[in-house]
Every structure is written in C-alpha cells, then in structure tokens.
Amino acid sequence: MTDTPHDLVDFGNGQPSSSLLPLDAIRTAADHCLSRGDAALLQYGDDQGDVDFRESLARFLTHRYATPVSAAHLMISAGVSQALDLVCTRFTRPGDTIFVEEPTYFLALEVFRDHGLQVVGIPIDHDGIRLDALQDALTRHCPALLYTIPSFQNPSGTTMSAARREQLAAVSRAHDLLIVADEVYQLLDFGTAPPPPLAAYIRDARVLSLGSFSKICAPGLRLGWIQGAAPLLDHLMQSGVVHSGGGLNPFASGVVRSLLDLGLADAGLDVLLRVYAERSAVLCRALRDALPMATFVEPRGGYFVWVQLPSTISASRLLPTAVAEGVSYRAGALFSSVNGFARSLRLSFAHYDEAALVLGVQRLARAIARYSTNAE
Amino acid sequence: MTDTPHDLVDFGNGQPSSSLLPLDAIRTAADHCLSRGDAALLQYGDDQGDVDFRESLARFLTHRYATPVSAAHLMISAGVSQALDLVCTRFTRPGDTIFVEEPTYFLALEVFRDHGLQVVGIPIDHDGIRLDALQDALTRHCPALLYTIPSFQNPSGTTMSAARREQLAAVSRAHDLLIVADEVYQLLDFGTAPPPPLAAYIRDARVLSLGSFSKICAPGLRLGWIQGAAPLLDHLMQSGVVHSGGGLNPFASGVVRSLLDLGLADAGLDVLLRVYAERSAVLCRALRDALPMATFVEPRGGYFVWVQLPSTISASRLLPTAVAEGVSYRAGALFSSVNGFARSLRLSFAHYDEAALVLGVQRLARAIARYSTNAE
C-alpha cells in the first residue's frame, strides 16, 4: 500500500481481508470430510440441511450464543442474502408492506425491491429499534414482516438492548408480527457479548433468525442458517427451489461440519475477534485524531463505524472529492428508506490492515478540508 | 438389495447413485485449489462468477457442446433450481402468464407457483414442442417466458429436433419471447449427440440456457451456469441477492475449476455416460420382457423412460399397489399443467444398479397384475 490515489482505501468494502480467510483450515476440513468415504455431501441433500451438520452447528451456536440451540430448529441456507430472498418468496406478496430499521442494510433493500415490497422505516435509538415508533406504525400498517439487525447493526453499529428485545418479542406476539432478525454480527463482539440473539425467542414469538458463516469464517462458502420454530421452517421448505434442488448447500455443509468438529471454526473466529477489535480501535483513534469535528460511537463489535459529519457536509456530495483523495465509503443516504442520513457515512474496518485504515482517515480528513474550503 | 417390500425401488428418485458420485476426484480437486495459496474462492466473488472458472467452463462446454461458448456469456449459478428462481424474480411479475411444455418438469411448476405465475402448457410431439400449438397460444397470451427442456426432456425423454430449435428461435425473435432452456441433460447422450443446445442461439434470439453440474458431476455442489447475451445476464445480475451476496457459489466454483482443469470432469462424465446407457438398456429390456402391454420410446440419453400404460390403468391409482409391492415412480399427472397423462409414468434409471432396475420392473408387473385383477 503506497500513499497514492490509485490505491483506493475503500471503507465501503464490507469484505474481510483476503489474509483473514482461513484457507489452510478449509483445506484441512475438506480433506477430512472427503476422506471418510461418505459421498452424502455430493448428493441432493435433505431439504432442511444435513442432520449431522445441523447438530454440529447447534453445538457451536449453543456454545457461542450461550443459549441453547437445537438442530431441529435450524435450516441450512446459502447465506443470509439467499435466506432473505427465500423468506420474501414464502412470506410476502408483491405490494405488501414490510418494516425495516432506519437506517438499515442497503442491499437488503434491493432484495425487498425485487419482491415488490413497500418499505417503511422505523427509527432506531442507542438501544435499537424504537418501540414507540413501531407501535405507532402498526396502527397504520399491517406489515408482512419486520427486518432487524439486532447486534452491531449495519450500518449504525447499534446493539438492541435486552429490554428492547423482550419488548419486540412481546410486540411480535401481540400483533402476530414476523420478525426476521439478521444476526450475522451477533458473534463478532470485542469482549462484551451482546444480549442473547433474537434466535432465543423462536419458541415464544414469531421470529426467524438468519445466521451465516460469511462474517465469522468465509463469505465464499455461501453457507448460512435459518433458525426458527418448526412451522415457520416447514413453510420455507415448501418452496419450489428447495423441493427441486434439495438442501441449499450440501457440499459446503460437509466441509464446514468438519471445520466445526475439528475445532477450526472456533479457533478461526477467535482470531477474527482479536483482529477486528484492534482494527476498530485503530480506526476510531485515527478518526478522533484527524477528524475532531466528526462524531461516532465506538463500536463494541461488528464491522462498522457510523460517522456523523458536521451539518454543513453532505456525505454524498463529499464522495467524489474523497475518491479523488484516494478514499471511499458508503454515504448514509444509501441506508435510508426516506433519503435520510445525509451527513452520515459508514466506514468498515474489516477489509484493511491498520496502516491502511490510518491512511484512509488521513485522506478523508484532506477531502473534508478541500470540500469545506470549496464550499466557503 | 434383498427382494422385500422394505427395500423400495423408487423409480421416482431422480438422484444419481451415491456410488457414482466422484468423491475421490472432488478430493483431488479440492486439494489442488486449496493448496495454491489463493483465497479468492473464500471471498465474496464477482457477481457473474469467477472469471478463471468461467473460462475453464467455457472451454469444457465448447468441447462438449461442440459449439463455441464464451466466458463472457456465462454467469455462475447455484444450480438450475436457483437459476430458475432468479430468472422468475428478474423477468416475471406475479400474475404473468408463462408457457411450459406439456408434460414438463414437475418441480419447476412449484418454482413458478412460488412466483405467482399462470402456467399454460404447450403440447410436445416426438420432435419437441409443437410450433403450431405455440403459435396458436401466442395469439391468446403474452407470456413472460417459455420454459423448455430441449434434450432428453424431463419426463418424456424427447429431444427437440434441429429444425424445431431453429423454428423456436425464429418465434422468439418474431415475438420477443424469452426462451428459458433447461439444458441439464444436453451432455448425457448415449452415443448420438442431440442437436446443438439452445445455448447456441443466444446471439440471435432471446434465450437463456440453464446448465448444471448436478447431472454431469454431483448435485451436492449446487453449481450451475446461465448462458445468455450480456444484456440478459446484466439484468439478472442487477438482483438484490447477487448485489448482497456476490457470486452465487465461489467455493464450489474454485473446486470445480480444478476438476475441469485436471481433466477430472471429462473423465467422470465419460463414466456416467457408459453407466447410464447400460442402465437405460437394462430397464428398457426388463420393461419389454415383463410389461409387454406398456409402450415407451427407448431413451437416447438423459435420466428417464416415459412409459404409457394401457388406457384401463391410472398411474396415480396404481401407485399404492405398486408401493405395497416395493416399487415406486412418478405418476404422469404430476408433470401436467392440466391434469393430463393419467396413464403415464416416469421411471428414472439413474439411481439404481442393474439388478435393482430389473427387480423394480418385476414388482411393477406384479402391481399391475394385482391392480388389473382388482379392477375386473
């Protein structure tokens, strides 16, 4: 990485560094599972996903979530994006209204658009989705589902409090509201675990919890899970794609089953937690040093810092200047269903090493200085 | 396999035998690709699929299709079921009419149902889809697409003639009709290649060709491709699922790239062709011996024999008797969009060895004898 505009530091990139991808562990796991003479991972698999893999996954999640997880309540997916698409196919009809958090994960909004859904944003505060706003919206709408990212939210980094989770589950029960919880960051805490995942409420509320190996192992596996009560999973499994293609990713399931059973998934996640905690700290320190006018809450987990610029600055309008300086990010408006968050930007610390993070912030500071000078 | 009703011979099973799954070859390929120190297969991949894999696949298809295939016209999918779902999401709206062949693949009908589509069946004859019926239907409907299985059709085993393919492409041009060709059996001929795939028409008609490694290698990989002109592929790639999740199966793509480059995919397919040709011949001989009242066209490729029973027999009503005798199949009505084909049944020869195929036919003959006796 040299300090030239050609080596863009793209804080918008939500991918892990290639150096963090567990190539050797996956090689060990692949050899382990392909050596035992069982070709099941090459066959059309069970619609719900291989039961041995689901049991290994249930053990892993029971330990990591610190809350009991049963294999019977897990359906294997090809990642959260695929799972979200399947949930929309099976639980919504075009024209339906759904609720999302405001702000929310911008690419989930594209999945909802593909399904012809009307999106209503519910604001969040520092404890997660605002229940007063949700209750109010429920007087005007009958949503097919609510999409939430409870822990280390994308983009805001916010974690829903335990009390708020309880209240949300109560709202789900009272209104028969389907909660679709995107819990991909749940296990990515930097030392202080968030409250138990919404997956802990699948028995007493209408909750589907979407998890994935993308953020805790490797995105290219395209492997995740949907945790829910049997009737909800059954409804998902009655899909044409599942009936036709069988299990959604038997081969990657077999490899990751070995990864789990050999303890390599746990070891790999522990490495990621240490690296991301360090990167987050470095990015936040650099922001405080170089951008004293910016405000943010230092993340306690996940992938992102959600930065508020002074009200004189538009994150969207700043972007070309930033790119010219060799740095990029995701402007806040992307994450809004009502074109809000004009002065916010999302910075990911997952993709770059510490030197690149510092360099990116220096470039961002130069871009803001140039932008502010030009605006005067 | 002992001759007891407990060991059901399920001719309805469209899976390859586990003994035919290339466990050792996949192990070699996985070790090859995971040993070269390139973690790209573990990363969120290119939306279109890894370019090196697409180039290896293009070489394989150019050779096997005996018609030129370009990597630029390939998008990697997670199998035909996933691809068909994506095509429906991006090219149809609920309430749209689509055309299918009558009969057609019954589980594709479930995918179409999930998308709220109105299905109109177009009859086939021994040369494939009937163009007169298609032209007639086009005077009454404006379909979002036509779904066809041109070679060794599921369930009928029929292969569309070269002339019919030309005519279908002309209809596509004249009516701007999107043809979605499910070409999973194209490479499974028993010595006489079918006409070139509909993929050969992607430049001069509105054609998307869906291919897969499920039938030529291993279903559990959940790996396939969509071949089409750039504007059609671009429209597919502008999907929320692809934007969010990236390439649809980077890990399996990396493994199968090695399988292709090491010549193991070609070698494995050659084994399958020999085995399936033998199994098809054995099944047909057994049918002629034990069920002289049944008629069928001996398949020249694919997975299936489509058997017509005498008009006094309903395949659906026969099924419980058959299962009691220890044999099962798919009744013809499943494959119809108008509840037709009452006396047809689809038998797959892919899953069982030759002894089991003969045993299954003997049981089927006993079931028909019992059914006919009871009906008298």
pLDDT tens column, A85-106:
999 999 999 999 999 999 999 9
Predicted confidence at residue B374, as pLDDT, reads 80
Of A215 and B4, the structure prediction assigns the larger pLDDT to A215
User: Residues B221, B294: one domain?
Assistant: no
Domain span including residue B275:
5-20+270-375
User: CA–CA separation, A344 vs A334, rounded Å?
Assistant: 10
User: Residues B76, B54: one domain?
Assistant: yes
Chain B residues near residue A107 by CB distance under 8 angstroms: 240, 243-244
| Predicted-assembly ipTM surpassing the 0.85 threshold | yes
- Residue after which a domain boundary falls, among B232, B265, B298: B265
- Residue after which a domain boundary falls, among A265, A282, A303: A265
User: Residues B367, B327: one domain?
Assistant: yes
User: Residues A165, A16: one domain?
Assistant: no
Chain B residues near residue A245 by CB distance under 8 angstroms: 78-82, 219, 222
User: Residues B109, B200: one domain?
Assistant: yes
Taking an 8 Å cut-off on Cβ atoms, the answer to whether B245 and A79 are in contact is yes
User: Residues B256, B213: one domain?
Assistant: yes
As a whole number, mean pLDDT of residues A136-164 equals 98
Q: Is the pLDDT of residue A283 over 50?
A: yes
Chain B residues near residue A40 by CB distance under 8 angstroms: 18, 220
Q: Which of A145, A149, A62 is CA-nearest to residue A101? A: A149
Q: Which of A212, A200, A204 is CA-nearest to residue A265? A: A212
User: Residues B279, B305: one domain?
Assistant: yes
CATH of the domain at B359: 3.90.1150.10
Pick from A31, A44, A82: CB nearest B219:
A44
User: Residues A154, A177: one domain?
Assistant: yes
Taking an 8 Å cut-off on Cβ atoms, the answer to whether A220 and B82 are in contact is no
Taking an 8 Å cut-off on Cβ atoms, the answer to whether A42 and B23 are in contact is yes
As a whole number, mean pLDDT of residues A5-20 equals 89
- Tens of pLDDT along A293-343? 999 999 999 999 999 999 999 999 999 999 999 999 999 999 999 999 999
Taking an 8 Å cut-off on Cβ atoms, the answer to whether A107 and B240 are in contact is yes
- State whether residue A1 is helix, strand or coil: coil
Contacts of B231 (CB under 8 A, 6+ apart): none
DSSP H or E stretch at residue A194:
none
- State whether residue B104 is helix, strand or coil: coil
Chain B: give the shortest CA distance to residue A127, in Å.
26
N residues, chain A: 376
Cβ-in-10-Å burial (0-12, 13-18, 19+) of B270 comes to exposed
Pick from B79, B218, B241: CB nearest A85:
B241
Q: What is the number of domains present in chain B?
A: 2
User: CA–CA separation, A81 vs B246, rounded Å?
Assistant: 9
Considering the entire predicted model, what is its pTM? 0.96
Please name the amino acid found at residue B137.
A
Instruction: Extract the tokens encoding A238.
Output: 């009655």
User: Residues A255, A295: one domain?
Assistant: no
Taking an 8 Å cut-off on Cβ atoms, the answer to whether B85 and A89 are in contact is yes
DSSP A310: -
User: Residues A314, A192: one domain?
Assistant: no
Q: Is the pLDDT of residue B2 over 70?
A: no
Chain B residues near residue A247 by CB distance under 8 angstroms: 220
Note whether A82 and A232 are within 8 A (CB): no
- Residue after which a domain boundary falls, among A265, A298, A322: A265
Taking an 8 Å cut-off on Cβ atoms, the answer to whether B240 and A109 are in contact is yes
Predicted confidence at residue B12, as pLDDT, reads 96
As a whole number, mean pLDDT of residues B65-92 equals 97
Predicted confidence at residue B68, as pLDDT, reads 97
User: CA–CA separation, B323 vs B9, rounded Å?
Assistant: 9
User: Residues A38, A142: one domain?
Assistant: yes
Q: Is the pLDDT of residue A64 over 80?
A: yes
Pairing of strands A97-102, A146-148: parallel
